[in-house]
């Protein structure tokens, strides 16, 4: 990687620290849990000022024209901070939106609405768009309650639907991390057509979710190592017990495999390597956060101690944009097996 | 039918009898509770079990138990879990009863055992402290003799359902000079004693299930000492055997496996060969676990003390429970992240059960500690 590229990544990570400091307390995140819309518009505008919403938009259209490596670095930091703002979803579709300026500027929040079945990567095709009206239902839209509009995938192309338009209803189901999934029901809702395809954006989000998982793993692991060093039982630090040392060593291995997998996919993205990264991140993040609870003992099972927040986030992310099993199957279908 | 008659039935007839009992009596509104219920919610079931003499399947009949064979106790567990029955406030039945039957004075037995069976005495377990978890023997809550009383000062934590209990069984330090295991005693204390403060702690299920319990000059008569002073550790260790066989019973795994299957059907995966293989593996683990459980339960029924090897049951059961819920999470798709049961159906709550399974490897002696016990006391491997 060139020195310039390294600099760009470092800049992104540094700028992320303004909103999601690695050492910061999680008071803001706790306060927003189980509220509506579950995130903060003021922080969203701050993110816009930092250029994050236009990160993937080409410079000619007012963005910064960066790539998936930078996008993943950002997602990783946001994951480490358990940031509830649905930035990766909005930023991934910004390049295909017609009036990108308001979106990049943070005044208008548009989220993708594509899914009709659980556990899939294929935009559902039961939603129809004809005569300027959309009908259908879309599920599992993270933080949908904060959107001004939705980019809806239909059998007849992409459609932009305003949240407040007639024929639009949004139902929310709370998620373990304190956010929610929206279910969008459209009954002859007025919409404007948007040229282009949503699939590339869905791939970017899938990879960014793997990076988010990496970030939260990293932070949960640091918290756990700290605890192993300071918690004493039997007159010694519990981290001195070899059984726990081996556990920590195994978790470190999974953490670094995830980091390597995400970095490889970000450097040379293809559906196969993105699946590889997501499959790893889904499993490893659940393993690591489960073990983080275990290694904390009773205090790990309290809501007031932070480590549980990371488990809850991992539970929400693990199967979003496809479970580990789905991505293993997709990898097997797409990646030539050189051993044959 | 009385307990002796029930125990004389053949196993299949007995199973039908249990099923009939549950279906006839279990309150439908309490099926598949998404969280552990508080006494206010589940006492109906406790009292029903008590009224029909079904509360204590493992206690000897002379003390009001059913005195069932190990195989029949298993059948009771299976049928209750299949139906989705709530866990009761069972510390009295599972731990205090067996403790008193073995170590209690006649007066204590006569006073407490009927109160446990009637639901008048509801218990919580005061062992763990902020700095005495795995290293329980380093506990510091102390009890000092003053006239006819003990005066207790200190703090317990992670005390499950302490807000529901009117009694607590407590490990306290009564001799600060002795080696740490040798200065511990067992006390039975009313929760309404002046000087006791209870603070609920919200757990990962976002439920106020466990608590901190503070003791500030709490007085309790010396007659509430169980066994001899400073012999509490020996009794506590014997009692851990009862706790471990309870936690090692297939209760939780049996419950979870039925829900895994329901979820697979709902997700359209029941016929999927990969799922079927995984499910069958879990099912076989459960069947073999039951067989192992039965050998330990039979020892108890013969009146034998359980050895340190009962740790195997606790390890395997808690990890099987977790593996089943992990399978649920993996096949649930996006539903794995939901806060509430899917589609309002309490039997379909993969996220809830997954979280509920987390502490099973922590409480009752963490699985790391159980493995240390196996390696040291059972396998006789050298210490570090
Ligand atoms: C849901 C729940 C309910 C509970 N209910 C009760 C209750 O009703 N009454 C009660 O008294 N207690 C209760 N407990 C407390 C429980 O018994 C303790 O949490 C448990 O003994 C562990 O102690 P700890 O939490 O202090 O963890 P620690 O002892 O600090 O352990 C932290 C980690 O270090 C590991 N560890 C510690 N020592 C060693 C070692 N020598 N070798 C290897 N690993 C080691 C542990 O396994 C764990 O992973 C409950 C706990 C939970 C989670």
**How does pLDDT run across A182-211, given as a tens digit for each residue?**
999 999 999 999 999 999 999 999 999 999
d(CA B347, CA B337): 16
Residue A313 in contact with residue B339, Cβ under 8 Å? no
- Residues B247, B264, B76, B84, CA torsion sign: positive
Helix ranges, chain B (H): 3-8, 11-25, 39-51, 70-83, 91, 97-103, 106-118, 232-247, 251-266, 273-301, 311-331, 350-357, 367-373
pLDDT of residue A2: 65
Same domain membership, residue B264 and residue B159: no
Task: Note the pLDDT tens digit of each residue in B203-255.
Answer: 999 999 999 999 999 999 999 999 999 999 999 988 888 888 889 999 999 99
* CA triple B202-B207-B209, angle to 5 deg: 80
CB–CB of B362 and A300 under 8 A?
yes
Tokens of B151: 């005066």
Residues B352 and B254 in one domain: yes
Q: Does B5 touch chain A (CB under 8 A)?
A: no
Residue B382 structure tokens: 């050298």
- The verdict on A302 touching B (C-beta cutoff 8 Å) is yes
Residue B145 covered by a domain: yes
Q: How far apart are CA B118 and CA B57, in angstroms?
A: 15
Alpha helices per DSSP H over chain A: 3-16, 27-32, 41-49, 68-80, 87-93, 100-104, 199-230, 242-267, 271-296, 307-318, 324-334
Q: Which residue in the set A119, A301, A325 is minimally distant from B362, CB to CB?
A: A301
In this prediction, residue B242 carries a pLDDT of: 82
Computed over every residue of chain A, the mean pLDDT equals 96
- In terms of domains, do B254 and B226 share one? no
A320 interfaces chain B, CB cutoff of 8 Å: yes
**A3, pLDDT greater than 70:** no
Of B165, B196, B230, the last residue of a domain is B230
Contact between residue A22 and residue A82 where contact means Cβ atoms under 8 Å apart: no
Distance (Å) from CA B357 to ligand 1 centroid: 15
Q: What is the CATH number of the domain that holds B78?
A: 1.10.540.10
Q: Is the pLDDT of residue A1 over 70?
A: no
Neighbouring-strand partners of residue A169 = A185
The Cα diameter of chain B in Å comes to: 71
- Top pLDDT among B238 and A98 is at A98
Which H or E run contains A149?
A: strand A149-154
CATH number belonging to the domain at A110-194, selected among 2.40.110.10, 3.20.20.60, 3.30.930.10, 3.40.50.620 = 2.40.110.10
- The residue contributing the CA closest to ligand 1 atom 31 is A297
Q: In this model, does residue B347 exceed pLDDT 80?
A: yes
CA dihedral A218→A219→A224→A226, nearest 10 degrees, is 110
Q: Is A139 on the interface with B (CB under 8 A)?
A: yes
* Among A101, A122, A46, A294, residue whose Cα is nearest residue B366: A294
CA-CA-CA-CA dihedral for A119, B358, B38, B186, to nearest 10: 170
3-class secondary structure, B384: coil
DSSP-assigned beta bridge partners for residue A151: A112, A160
Chain B contact for A106, CB < 8 A?
Answer: no
pLDDT tens column, A60-78: 999 999 999 999 999 999 9
The answer to whether A175 contacts B354, with C-beta atoms less than 8 Å apart, is no
DSSP-based three-state secondary structure for B300: helix
CATH number at B257 reads 1.20.140.10
Q: Which residue has the tokens 């002796």?
A: B4
Residue B196, beta-bridge partner list: B215
User: What is the phi/psi pair of residue A160, to 5°?
Assistant: -100, 120
Write the DSSP string, B197-231.
Answer: EEEEE-BTTS---EEEEEEEEEEEEGGGEESSTT-
Number of neighbours of residue B223 by Cβ within 10 angstroms: 12
Whether A39 shows a pLDDT value over 60: the answer reads: yes
Residues B224 and B265 in one domain: no
Provide the 3-class DSSP secondary structure of residue A213. Answer: helix
In a domain, B106, yes or no: no
CA–CA min distance A314, chain B (Å): 8
The reply to whether omega before A37 is within 30° of 0 (cis) is yes
Calculate mean pLDDT across residues A217-225: 98
Q: What are the start-end ranges of the H helices in B63-198?
A: 70-83, 91, 97-103, 106-118
pLDDT at A340: 58
CATH of domain A199-334: 1.20.140.10
User: Which 8-state DSSP code applies to residue A156?
Assistant: T
User: Domain limits of chain A?
Assistant: 3-104, 110-194, 199-334
Q: Into which CATH architecture does domain A3-104 fall?
A: Orthogonal Bundle (1.10)
* pLDDT band, residue A339 (cuts 50/70/90): low
Residue A23 has pLDDT above 90, yes or no: no
Question: What's the CATH number where B138 sits?
Answer: 2.40.110.10
Residue B34 banded pLDDT, cuts 50, 70, 90: confident
φ, ψ for residue A138, nearest 5 deg: -125, 140
Q: Which residues pair with B60 in a beta bridge?
A: none
Question: pLDDT tier at B382 (50, 70, 90 boundaries)?
Answer: very high
Residues A127 and A157: their CA atoms lie apart, in Å, by: 10
| Cα B252 to ligand 1 centroid, rounded to whole Å | 19
pLDDT at position B121 is 97
B128 Cα nearest atom in ligand 1 = 11
| Residue A157, beta-bridge partner list | A154
Q: Do A297 and B358 touch (CB under 8 A)?
A: no
Mean pLDDT, chain B, rounded, equals: 95
State residue A333 phi and psi, 5-degree precision.
-75, -30
Ligand 1 centroid vs B287 CA: distance in angstroms?
A: 28
* B243 noted as active-site residue: yes
Strand, helix or coil for residue A96: helix
Give the per-residue pLDDT at A105: 97
**Test site for ligand 1: of B125, B129, B154, B158, most ligand atoms within 8 A of the Cβ:** B158
Q: Cβ(B198)–Cβ(B153) under 8 Å? A: no
Angle between helical axes of B350-357 and B251-266 (0-180°, round to 10) = 150
Nearest CA to ligand 1 atom 16: B363
Let me know if residue B97 belongs to a domain: no
Give residue A336 CA to ligand 1 midpoint distance, Å.
Answer: 47
In this prediction, residues B102-127 reach a mean pLDDT of: 96
Residue indicated by tokens 């995130």: A39
What are the chain B neighbours of A176 within 8 Å (beta carbons)?
337-339, 351, 355
pLDDT mean over A246-258: 98
B370 touches chain A (CB under 8 A): no
Q: Which residue has the tokens 């004493």?
A: A232
Out of B78, B79, B209, B243, the active site residue is B243
**Chain A residues close to B133, C-beta within 8 Å:** 233, 297-298
φ/ψ of residue A188, rounded to 5: 55, 45
Q: Decide if B303 contacts A292 (C-beta within 8 A).
A: no
Q: Do B128 and A317 touch (CB under 8 A)?
A: no
If you measure from the C-alpha of residue A294 to the centroid of ligand 1, how many angstroms do you get, rounded to a whole number?
9
Counted domains in chain B: 3
B59 — pLDDT class (breaks 50, 70, 90): very high
Hey, whose CA ends up nearest to atom 51 of ligand 1?
A: B363
With beta carbons under 8 A apart, name residues in chain A contacting B368.
241, 243-244
Cβ atoms of A155 and A176 within 8 Å: the answer is: no
Q: Do B278 and B330 belong to one domain?
A: yes
- At A18 the pLDDT is 86
pTM of the model: 0.96
Domain-embedded: residue B118: no
CA of B289 to nearest chain A CA: how many angstroms apart? 23
**Helix, strand, coil tally for chain A in percent (to 5):** 50, 15, 30
Statement to judge: residues B255 and B361 lie in one domain: yes
Count residue pairs from A and B with Cβ separation < 8 A.
118
Structural domain span for residue B283: 248-378
Asked whether residue B242 is domain-assigned, the answer is no
- Are residues B149 and B269 both part of a single domain? no
Question: Which stretch of A2-16, A20-34, B344-358 has the lowest confidence by average pLDDT?
Answer: A2-16
Pocket, ligand 1, Cβ cutoff 6 A: A 231, 233-234, 238, 241, 243-244, 294-295, 297-298, 301; B 124-128, 133-134, 158-160, 210, 359, 362-363, 365-366, 368-369, 372
Between CA B309 and CA B244 the distance in angstroms is 10
* Pairing label, strands B225-226, B184-190: antiparallel
- For the stretch B234-243, pLDDT in tens is 999 888 888 8
* Domain stop point among B61, B88, B115: B88
| pLDDT value at residue B210 | 96
**Does residue B195 sit in the same domain as residue B257?**
no
Mean per-residue pLDDT for A212-225? 98
- Asked if B19 contacts B81 with a C-beta cutoff of 8 angstroms, the reply is no
The residue among B36, B128, B160, B334 with the most chain A CBs within 10 A of its CB, best to mutate, is B334
Residue A212 main-chain phi, psi, to 5 deg:
-60, -45
Name the residue among A203, A189, A227, A89 with its Cα closest to residue A146. A89
User: B25 burial class (0-12, 13-18, 19+ CB within 10 angstroms)?
Assistant: middle
Nearest by Cα to A233 from B138, B358, B345: B138
| Percent with pLDDT over 90 in chain B | 90
ipTM above 0.90, yes or no: yes
Q: In terms of domains, do B75 and B145 share one?
A: no
Alpha-carbon gap, residue B127 to B136, rounded angstroms: 7
Same domain, B156 and B196: yes
**Residues A262, A61 contacting (CB under 8 angstroms):** no
Q: What is the mean pLDDT of residues A213-237?
A: 98
Tell the burial category of B246 from Cβ atoms under 10 Å away from its Cβ (0-12, 13-18, 19+).
Answer: buried
- In a shared domain, residues B42 and B145: no
Shared domain for B223 and B158, answered yes or no, is yes
Spacing, Cα A299 to ligand 1 middle (Å): 9
**Does the pLDDT at position A217 exceed 90?**
yes
């Amino acid at each position: 990687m060139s020195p310039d590229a390294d600099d760009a990544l470092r800049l992104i990570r540094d700028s992320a620290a303004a909103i999601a400091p690695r050492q910061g307390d999680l008071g803001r995140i706790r306060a927003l849990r189980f509220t509506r819309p579950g995130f903060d518009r003021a922080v969203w505008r701050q993110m816009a000022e930092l250029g994050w919403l236009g990160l993937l938009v080409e410079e000619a259209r007012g963005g910064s024209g960066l790539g998936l490596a930078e996008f993943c670095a950002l997602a990783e930091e946001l994951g480490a901070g358990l940031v509830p703002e649905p930035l990766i979803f909005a930023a991934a579709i910004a390049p295909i939106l017609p009036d990108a300026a308001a979106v990049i500027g943070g005044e208008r929040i548009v989220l993708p609405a594509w899914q009709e079945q659980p556990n899939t990567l294929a935009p559902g095709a039961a939603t129809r768009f004809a005569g300027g009206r959309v009908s259908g239902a879309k599920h599992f839209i993270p933080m949908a309650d904060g959107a001004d509009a939705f980019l809806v995938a239909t059998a007849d192309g992409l459609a932009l639907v305003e949240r407040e338009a007639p024929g639009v209803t949004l139902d929310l189901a709370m998620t373990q991390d304190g956010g929610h999934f929206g279910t969008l029901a459209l009954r002859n809702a007025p919409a404007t057509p948007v040229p282009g395809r949503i699939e590339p954006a869905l791939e970017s989000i899938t990879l960014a979710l793997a990076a988010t998982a990496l970030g939260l793993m990293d932070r949960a692991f640091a918290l756990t190592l700290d605890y192993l060093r300071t918690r004493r039982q039997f007159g010694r630090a519990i981290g001195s017990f070899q059984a726990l040392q081996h556990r920590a060593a195994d978790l470190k291995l999974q953490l670094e495999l995830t980091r390597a997998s995400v970095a490889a996919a970000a450097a040379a993205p293809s559906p196969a390597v993105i699946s590889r990264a997501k499959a790893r991140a889904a499993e490893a993040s659940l393993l690591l956060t489960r073990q983080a609870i275990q290694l904390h003992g009773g205090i790990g099972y309290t809501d007031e101690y932070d480590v549980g927040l990371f488990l809850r986030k991992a539970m929400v992310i693990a199967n979003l944009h496809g479970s580990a099993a789905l991505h293993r199957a997709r990898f097997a279908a797409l990646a030539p097996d050189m051993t044959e | 039918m009385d307990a002796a008659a029930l125990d004389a039935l053949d196993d299949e007839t007995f199973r039908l009898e249990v099923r009939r009992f549950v279906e006839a009596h279990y309150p439908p509104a309490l099926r598949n509770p998404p969280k552990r219920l508080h006494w206010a919610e589940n006492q109906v079931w406790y009292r029903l079990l008590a009224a029909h003499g079904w509360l204590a399947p493992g206690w000897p009949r002379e003390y009001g138990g059913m005195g069932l064979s190990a195989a029949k106790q298993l059948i009771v567990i299976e049928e209750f879990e299949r139906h989705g029955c709530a866990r009761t406030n069972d510390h009295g039945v599972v731990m205090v009863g067996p403790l008193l039957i073995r170590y209690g004075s006649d007066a204590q037995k006569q006073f407490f055992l009927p109160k446990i069976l009637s639901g008048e005495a509801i218990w919580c377990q005061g062992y763990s402290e902020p700095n005495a978890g795995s290293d329980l023997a380093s506990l510091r809550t102390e009890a000092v003799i003053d006239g006819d009383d003990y005066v207790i000062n200190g703090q317990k934590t992670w005390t499950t359902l302490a807000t529901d209990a009117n009694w607590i069984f407590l490990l306290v330090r009564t001799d600060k000079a002795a080696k740490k295991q040798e200065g511990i005693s067992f006390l039975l204390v009313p929760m309404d004693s002046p000087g006791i403060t209870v603070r609920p702690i919200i757990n990962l299920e976002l439920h106020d299930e466990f608590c901190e319990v503070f003791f500030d000059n709490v007085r309790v008569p010396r007659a509430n000492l169980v066994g001899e002073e400073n012999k509490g550790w020996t009794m506590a260790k014997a009692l851990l055997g009862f706790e471990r066989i309870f936690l090692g019973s297939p209760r939780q795994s049996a419950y979870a496996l039925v829900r895994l299957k329901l979820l697979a059907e709902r997700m359209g995966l029941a016929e999927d060969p990969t799922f079927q293989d995984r499910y069958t593996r879990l099912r076989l683990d459960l069947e073999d676990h039951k067989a192992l459980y039965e050998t330990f339960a039979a020892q108890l029924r013969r009146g034998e003390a359980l050895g340190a090897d009962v740790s195997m049951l606790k390890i395997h059961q808690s990890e099987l429970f977790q593996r089943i819920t992990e399978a649920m999470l993996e096949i649930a798709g996006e539903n794995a992240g939901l806060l509430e049961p899917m589609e309002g159906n309490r039997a379909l709550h993969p996220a809830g059960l997954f979280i509920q399974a987390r502490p099973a490897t922590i409480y009752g002696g963490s699985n790391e500690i159980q493995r240390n016990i196996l390696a040291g006391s059972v396998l006789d491997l050298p210490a570090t």
